[in-house]
C-alpha cells in the first residue's frame, strides 16, 4: 500500500468535503429558514473566484485579494436578494427554481462579458505554494492543508454563530417556526437578508479558495452545486451539523471511490472489466449513497421529521 | 359547431402551420426551417411529457433531460454496434426509461418539496456522469450516429421530411394520449393528489402507486422523444442531459402554461424561436434570455396560456 498516496487522497477528500460544507451550509440555512431553493448559489461561488482573481492580479497579493473579494461578493449577494430573491419567498418552489435558473444564465453571461471566455489564474504566495511534511516521508501540498484549516475554522465560527449568539438563536427559531418568530417581533425580512448574504459570502469563500488550484472559470459553480445539493439532502435540510457530516462523508467517498474503486473491483472481476466499470460506478457513488440514505430516512440524516 | 376561443384558434393555427411546414420548405427551399421545426416538435414532446408530472401532478422533476439522453443513447449505442433496427432502438429507449423512472421514482417519490427537486436532479446527474466516464461510447466527447433508425422499406428516416412527419405525428399521438390520461379516473386521482394528497389517501387511494405510474409514463414518453432527438441530431453527448437542459424543459412548460394540454407546445415553440432569434444577433444573448426568464416568473404567472385568456387557477 502506498501510504503517501493514501494520505494525499484523504486530504483531497477532506478538502472537497470542506468546500462542499461552505457551499452547503449557506444553502441549508437558506432552505431551512426561508424555504427557498437557490440554484444560483453556485453562481456566487463563481463570482467570488473571479473577484478574488482580479483583485489578486491588481493588488499583487492573494491575501488582500481574498480579503476584499469577500465584501464584494457580499454586495452581489445583497443585490441578488434585493432585486430578485426577495420577491419570491411567498412563491412556490417551481418559481424559485426557474427564477434562480434565470439568474445563473445572467451570471454566467455577465462573467463572460466582463472577463472573456478564458479562465482566470490566481497565483499563490510562495510560502503557500510548497509542500509540507506530515512526519516521515509523507509530503502534502501546503495550500491544501491551508484550505482544510481555514474551512474548519469557518465551520467552527459558524457553529458558534448558530448555537451561541442571539442572531443564531433567531436563525434556529426561524428554521423551526417562521410565523412564530415574526409574531414575537423579530424582523424576519432583515433576518432573511442577513442569512442570504452569509450564505453568499460562504459560497464566495469556497470559490476563492479553490480557484488557485483549478482557476476561476465560467460555469464552475454549476457542477459542484449539484453535489452540494446531494450533501444537504443527505444531511437533512436546515441542519448545519448534518451539512458538515454529510459534506465530509461525500468528499471522502467521492475522492476515495475515484482513486481506489478500480483496485477494489479487480479483486473480484477481471482487470479489463474493472477498468471499464470502476470510473462509471465511482462517478455514481455519492448518488447511490444518497439513494440508500433516503430509502432509510426520507428527510436525511439530521432532517426534521415529517417536514 | 362549437365556436373557438382565442386559445383554440392559436392551437389550431400552430398545428396547421406545423403540418404544412414541409410544403412551405419545399416551395421556398429553406431547409433551415425544417431543421428548426423538427427540433421544436421533439422538444415539445419532451415538454408535454414533463407537464404530465409537473403540471398535473405537481411533481417538480428537475431531471427530465436524463430521459432525452437515455433515449438518444438507446439509438446511439446499438448503432455503434451496427444495430440499426428502429423497433429495437425505440424498444430499448422506452424500456430503459421505464426501468430508470421506476427505480428512481421508488426513492424520489418518498420525498416532497425541495428534496424531490434535488433528488430528481441528482439522479439525472448520476446518468450524466456515468456516460461521461464510459470511454467506450465517447465519454465527454459524445457519439456520432451515422445511420438513422431503420423501419423497413416503407419508412425512410434518412429523408428529413419523413423524419419531421414522424416527429409531428408522434407529438399528436402523445398529446392525444396525455388528454386521455388526464381525463381518465387515473388522471383525476393524480390531480386530486396534487390538490390534497391526504384527502385522496383517506378516500382509499394509494397515491404513491398512482404517482409512480404517472412518473414512469412521463419518463417513457420523454425517452421516446430522446430516441427521436438522437435520430435528428446525429451527434449525441452527455451534455444533452446536463441539469441545465432539465431547467430549460421546465422553462418551456412554465412559459407555455402548466397543467394545460397544449401550453407546453407553445412554450417549447416560443423558447426555440427566441433562442434562434436572439443567438443570431448577439453573442451574449443568454443574458437577455436569463432576464426574460426571471421576468416571466416574477410578472407573468400562468404563461402564454393565460395571456391567451385562460385563468391559471382553474
Q: Is residue A127 part of a domain?
A: yes
Contact between chains at A294 and B119 (C-beta distance less than 8 A): yes
Residue of A93, A109, A290 lying closest to B290 (CB–CB): A109
CA B207 to chain CA mean position, Å: 24
Do residues A302 and A241 touch, judged by C-beta distance below 8 A? Answer: yes
Mutate to test the interface with A, among B56, B65, B117, B300 (most CBs of A within 10 A): B117
A–B CB contacts, 8 A cutoff, strictly below: 132
Domain total in chain A: 1
Do residues A53 and A186 touch, judged by C-beta distance below 8 A? Answer: no
- Looking at residue A273, its pLDDT comes to 76
- Looking at residue A122, its pLDDT comes to 87
Chain B residues touching residue A39 (CB < 8 angstroms):
247
Q: Is residue A165 part of a domain?
A: yes
* pLDDT per residue as tens digits for the range A67-105: 999 999 999 999 999 999 989 888 888 899 899 999 999
Q: What is the pLDDT along chain B (314 residues), one digit of tens a residue?
A: 456 788 888 888 999 999 988 888 888 888 889 999 999 999 999 999 999 999 999 899 999 999 999 999 999 999 889 888 889 999 999 999 999 999 999 988 988 888 888 889 888 988 998 888 887 888 888 888 888 888 877 788 888 899 999 999 999 999 999 999 999 999 999 999 888 888 889 998 999 999 999 999 999 999 999 999 999 998 899 999 988 899 999 999 999 888 788 999 999 999 999 999 998 888 888 899 899 999 988 887 777 877 777 654 44
Chain B residues bordering chain A (beta-carbon distance below 8 Å): 54, 60, 62, 104, 107, 110-111, 113-115, 117-119, 121-123, 125-126, 129-130, 132-136, 243-244, 247, 250-251, 254, 258, 284, 286-287, 289-294, 296-298
Q: Is residue A24 part of a domain?
A: yes
Question: Beta-carbon neighbour count of residue B4 at 10 Å?
Answer: 11
Contact between chains at A103 and B114 (C-beta distance less than 8 A): no
Q: What is the 3-state secondary structure (H, E, C) of chain A?
A: CCHHHHHHHHHHHHHHHHHHHHHHHHHHHHHHHHCCCCCCHHHHHHHHHHHHHHHHHHHCCHHHHHHHHHHHHHHHHHHHHHHCHHHHCCCCHHHHHHHHHHHHHHHHHHHHHHHCCCCECCCCCHHHCCEEECCCCCEEEHHHHHHHHHHHHHHHHHHHHHHHCHHHHHHHHHHHCHHHHHHCCCCHHHHHHHHHHHHHHHHHHHHHHHHHHHCECCCHHHHHHHHHHHHHHHHCCCCHHHHHHHHHHHHHHHHHHHHHHHHHHHCCCCHHHHHHHHHHHHHHHHHHHHHHHHHHCCCCCCCCCCC
Determine whether A132 is exposed, middle or buried from the number of CB atoms within 10 Å of its CB (0-12, 13-18, 19+).
Answer: middle
User: Of B234, B310, B290, whose CA–CA distance to B80 is shortest?
Assistant: B234
- Separation CA A155–CA A206 (nearest Å): 12
Mutate to test the interface with A, among B105, B194, B287 (most CBs of A within 10 A): B287
pTM over 0.90: no
Of the listed ranges A219-233, A284-298, B1-15, the least confidently predicted one is B1-15
- Separation CA B136–CA B159 (nearest Å): 29
Say whether the ipTM exceeds 0.95: no
Q: Which residue of A has its CA nearest to B104?
A: A291
User: Of A114, A7, A3, whose CA–CA distance to A54 is shortest?
Assistant: A114
- Separation CA A280–CA A223 (nearest Å): 17
Q: Is residue A263 part of a domain?
A: no
Q: Is residue A250 part of a domain?
A: no
Q: Residue A306 — very low, low, confident or very high, per pLDDT cuts 50/70/90?
A: very low
Contact between chains at A279 and B117 (C-beta distance less than 8 A): no
Strand, helix or coil at B144? strand
Q: Which residue of B has its CA nearest to A38?
A: B114
Give me the DSSP letters along B200-251: HHHTT--HHHHHHHHHHHHHHHHHHHHHHHHHHHSEE-GGGGSHHHHHHHHH
> Which pairs count as long-range contacts for B269-278, CB under 8 Å and 24+ apart, including other chains?
B269/B14, B269/B40, B269/B44, B270/B304, B271/B43, B272/B36, B272/B39, B272/B40, B272/B43, B273/B40, B276/B36
Cell 429495437 belongs to: B88
Residue of A84, A222, A295 lying closest to B244 (CB–CB): A222
Question: Beta-carbon neighbour count of residue A159 at 10 Å?
Answer: 15
Domain range for A143 is: 3-218
Do residues A69 and A132 touch, judged by C-beta distance below 8 A? Answer: no
Contact between chains at B62 and A95 (C-beta distance less than 8 A): no
Q: Which three cell numbers stand for residue B282?
A: 448577439
Q: Is residue A233 part of a domain?
A: no
Q: How close are the terminal C-alpha atoms of chain B, in Å?
A: 25
Q: How close are the terminal C-alpha atoms of chain A, in Å?
A: 45
Q: Is residue A259 part of a domain?
A: no
Q: Which three cell numbers stand for residue A171?
A: 436563525
Alpha helices in B81-159 (DSSP H): 86-108, 113-133
Chain A residues touching residue B60 (CB < 8 angstroms):
93-94, 97
Q: Is residue A66 part of a domain?
A: yes
Do residues B89 and B83 touch, judged by C-beta distance below 8 A? Answer: yes
Q: Which residues contact A267 (CB under 8 A, 6 or more apart)?
A: none
Domain extents for chain B? 33-242
Amino acid at each position: 500500500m502506498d501510504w503517501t498516496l493514501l494520505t494525499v487522497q484523504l486530504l483531497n477528500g477532506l478538502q472537497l468535503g470542506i468546500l462542499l460544507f461552505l457551499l452547503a451550509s449557506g444553502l441549508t440555512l437558506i432552505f431551512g429558514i426561508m424555504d427557498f431553493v437557490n440554484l444560483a448559489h453556485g453562481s456566487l461561488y463563481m463570482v467570488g473566484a473571479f473577484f478574488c482573481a482580479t483583485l489578486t492580479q491588481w493588488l499583487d497579493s492573494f491575501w488582500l485579494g481574498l480579503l476584499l473579494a469577500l465584501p464584494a461578493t457580499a454586495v452581489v449577494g445583497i443585490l441578488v436578494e434585493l432585486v430578485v430573491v426577495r420577491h419570491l419567498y411567498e412563491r412556490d418552489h417551481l418559481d424559485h427554481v426557474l427564477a434562480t435558473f434565470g439568474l445563473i444564465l445572467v451570471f454566467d453571461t455577465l462573467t463572460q462579458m466582463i472577463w472573456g471566455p478564458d479562465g482566470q489564474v490566481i497565483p499563490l504566495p510562495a510560502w503557500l505554494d510548497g509542500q509540507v511534511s506530515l512526519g516521515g516521508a509523507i509530503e502534502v501540498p501546503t495550500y491544501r492543508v491551508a484550505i482544510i484549516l481555514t474551512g474548519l475554522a469557518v465551520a467552527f465560527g459558524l457553529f458558534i454563530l448558530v448555537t451561541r449568539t442571539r442572531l443564531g438563536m433567531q436563525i434556529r427559531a426561524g428554521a423551526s417556526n417562521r410565523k412564530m418568530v415574526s409574531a414575537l417581533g423579530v424582523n424576519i425580512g432583515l433576518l432573511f437578508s442577513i442569512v442570504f448574504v452569509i450564505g453568499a459570502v460562504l459560497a464566495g469563500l469556497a470559490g476563492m479558495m479553490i480557484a488557485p488550484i483549478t482557476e476561476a472559470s465560467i460555469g464552475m459553480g454549476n457542477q459542484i452545486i449539484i453535489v452540494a445539493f446531494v450533501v444537504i439532502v443527505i444531511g437533512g435540510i436546515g441542519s448545519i451539523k448534518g451539512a458538515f457530516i454529510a459534506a465530509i462523508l461525500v468528499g471522502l467517498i467521492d475522492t476515495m471511490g475515484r482513486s481506489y474503486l478500480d483496485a477494489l473491483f479487480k479483486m473480484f472481476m477481471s482487470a479489463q472489466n474493472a477498468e471499464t466499470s470502476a470510473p462509471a460506478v465511482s462517478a455514481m457513488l455519492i448518488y447511490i449513497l444518497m439513494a440508500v440514505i433516503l430509502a432509510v430516512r426520507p428527510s436525511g440524516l439530521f432532517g426534521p421529521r415529517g417536514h | 359547431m362549437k365556436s373557438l376561443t382565442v386559445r383554440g384558434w392559436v392551437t389550431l393555427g400552430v398545428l396547421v402551420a406545423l403540418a404544412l411546414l414541409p410544403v412551405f420548405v419545399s416551395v421556398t427551399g429553406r431547409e433551415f426551417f425544417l431543421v428548426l421545426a423538427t427540433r421544436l416538435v421533439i422538444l415539445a414532446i419532451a415538454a408535454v411529457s414533463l407537464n404530465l408530472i409537473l403540471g398535473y401532478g405537481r411533481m417538480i422533476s428537475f431531471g427530465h433531460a436524463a430521459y432525452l439522453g437515455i433515449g438518444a443513447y438507446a439509438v446511439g449505442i446499438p448503432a455503434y454496434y451496427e444495430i440499426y433496427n428502429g423497433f429495437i432502438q425505440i424498444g430499448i429507449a422506452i424500456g430503459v426509461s421505464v426501468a430508470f423512472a421506476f427505480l428512481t421514482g421508488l426513492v424520489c417519490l418518498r420525498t416532497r418539496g425541495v428534496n424531490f427537486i434535488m433528488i430528481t436532479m441528482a439522479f439525472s446527474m448520476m446518468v450524466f456522469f456515468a456516460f461521461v466516464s464510459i470511454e467506450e461510447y465517447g465519454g465527454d466527447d459524445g457519439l456520432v450516429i451515422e445511420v438513422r433508425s431503420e423501419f423497413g422499406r416503407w419508412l425512410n428516416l434518412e429523408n428529413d421530411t419523413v423524419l419531421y412527419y414522424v416527429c409531428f405525428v408522434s407529438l399528436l399521438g402523445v398529446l392525444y394520449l396525455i388528454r386521455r390520461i388526464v381525463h381518465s379516473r387515473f388522471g383525476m386521482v393524480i390531480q386530486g393528489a396534487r390538490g390534497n394528497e391526504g384527502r385522496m389517501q383517506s378516500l382509499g387511494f394509494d397515491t404513491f402507486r398512482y404517482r409512480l405510474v404517472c412518473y414512469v409514463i412521463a419518463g417513457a414518453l420523454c425517452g421516446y422523444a430522446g430516441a427521436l432527438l438522437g435520430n435528428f441530431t446525429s451527434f449525441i453527448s452527455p451534455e444533452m442531459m446536463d441539469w441545465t437542459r432539465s431547467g430549460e424543459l421546465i422553462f418551456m412548460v412554465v412559459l407555455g402554461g402548466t397543467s394545460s394540454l397544449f401550453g407546453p407546445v407553445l412554450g417549447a415553440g416560443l423558447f426555440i424561436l427566441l433562442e434562434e432569434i436572439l443567438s443570431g444577433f448577439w453573442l451574449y444573448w443568454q443574458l437577455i434570455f436569463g432576464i426574460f426568464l426571471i421576468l416571466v416568473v416574477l410578472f407573468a404567472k400562468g404563461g402564454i396560456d393565460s395571456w391567451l385568456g385562460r385563468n391559471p387557477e382553474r
